[in-house]
Structure 1
């Protein structure tokens, strides 16, 4: 059986960017957690740091090489919660004055945050000029070109996925149990958890004694509406034959 269809790595990368999960900035010396971060659709990024952070002084003196790491975290409590990582490598520079205020407004248009009001007072905006992008998830590690990233769209269900999966975990254990019938035989007996949802399928995490494994179940076709999603989920629960494949 072939591998079930999955979103293109560029689509996965755009989805991780849209979700805006946990971020770390990795300059030469140490990992830094930004106060606010935003990865834009063109692959550039903005991070907000305290004025007195050493990296701000370095970025005011000239461009600094750095990697922005975005973690895609599962919306349900798993023992291994990171579903994927996106690394954007590039060069940081610090903004000031009108340039910094304009970038703060740009961030707030897609991710409002009251801490952006401190820009120009106690915090500084740094922008990352991207050079390369790498995605790591259950399918492996893949280079994503900046052109591919800019041309892709986030998954249409990305902003509803967390609520739906938490609802499935807490209120519909019977549905998860029905889906577990399609898990490969050698993974039976592990703890089955809802892991992910996208327009092409559903992912389950099997927490076994010695390791975790991810299983992807394909929809019969790409979906775009809640009604189509409902129909595909009913098919997965009730259909005795299903394209399911271990992916991790």
Structure 2
């Protein structure tokens, strides 16, 4: 399974919604707390791009040393329609400063030095040490996950439902015409998580591990073919 640090770093580098909260900062519109982009530097610092005239950028410009603390909050929502769509939340807190030097016109780059991090997601709740966050890489599928899940859901729904045959006793008494709907809810290099929604509205998750971790789309395609082949036997 991916470590808590890897899952948190993956969320930072994903397209999940995020907001930067600065204690004591009055902001009229919540969208003014949403960075235009975010990334991670080699030392594990989180870099956030904001409009130069935003309240967050102004506060960071006038901060001295480590006096300005901030929290980056990320909410991960499944990119497909499924019950209980929120897949997780992550929090990264630390010290906020402006990054000198040129950037996009009308924009300011801010640096969040990580002091603490935590995640609460489909795997559970854990705290992450800054060093662990610095030393891991994001999941290699992060930039494609939403598109891949949507494709599986719309173009391979019948094959997705056959995965229920791999669940053993969980669906022993379910005939083929009453298979639970199978919605792909999360994907990473280690496997696929599927949410099965039964006719009465009840749902449960199942995790299907790949034989080996995948490194790219080509390897993922082969892993999914193997999984669907096993389900059709």
Q: Same fold (TM over 0.5)?
A: yes
Aligned residue number for residue 72 of structure 1: 76
Distance 1:161 1:58 in 2: 35
Shift of 1:203: 0.7
Shift of 1:155: 1.7
Distance 1:193 1:88 in 2: 30
Q: Count matched residues.
A: 216
Question: Is this contact kept in 2: 1:10–1:149, CA < 8 A?
Answer: yes
Runs of at least 5 residues in structure 1 that lack an aligned partner in the other structure: 1-5, 105-115, 242-248
Aligned residue number for residue 222 of structure 2: 231
Distance 1:239 1:78 in 2: 25
Q: What do the CA deviations read for 1:76-97 (whole angstroms, capped 9, x no partner)?
A: 23343332222110122345xx
Higher relative contact order (CA 8 A, sep 6+): 1
Aligned residue number for residue 7 of structure 1: 2
Look up the SS of the partner of 2:194 in the other structure.
Answer: strand
Aligned residue number for residue 108 of structure 1: none
Aligned alpha-carbon RMSD (Å): 3.0
> What does residue range 69-218 of structure 1 map to in structure 2 within 5 Å?
69-95=73-99, 99-101=100-102, 104=103, 116-119=104-107, 124-183=108-167, 185=170, 191-207=181-197, 213-218=204-209
Q: Which of the numbers 16, 35, 41 marks the counterpart of 2:11?
A: 16
Q: What do the CA deviations read for 1:99-122 (whole angstroms, capped 9, x no partner)?
A: 152xx3xxxxxxxxxxx4322xxx
Question: Is this contact kept in 1: 2:20–2:35, CA < 8 A?
Answer: no
Q: Which moved more, 1:148-157 or 1:225-234?
A: 225-234
Distance 1:226 1:51 in 2: 37
Q: What do the CA deviations read for 1:163-192 (whole angstroms, capped 9, x no partner)?
A: 222111111111111113334727x76542
Question: In structure 2, do the counterparts of structure 1 residues 230 and 46 end up closer, same or farther at CA, with 3 Å as the change threshold?
Answer: closer
Look up the SS of the partner of 1:175 in the other structure.
Answer: helix
Shift of 1:51: 4.7
Query: Where does structure 1 differ by over 6 angstroms across 4 or more consecutive aligned residues?
Result: none
Aligned residue number for residue 107 of structure 1: none
Distance 1:213 1:138 in 2: 12
Question: Is this contact kept in 2: 1:12–1:155, CA < 8 A?
Answer: yes
Aligned residue number for residue 38 of structure 1: 38
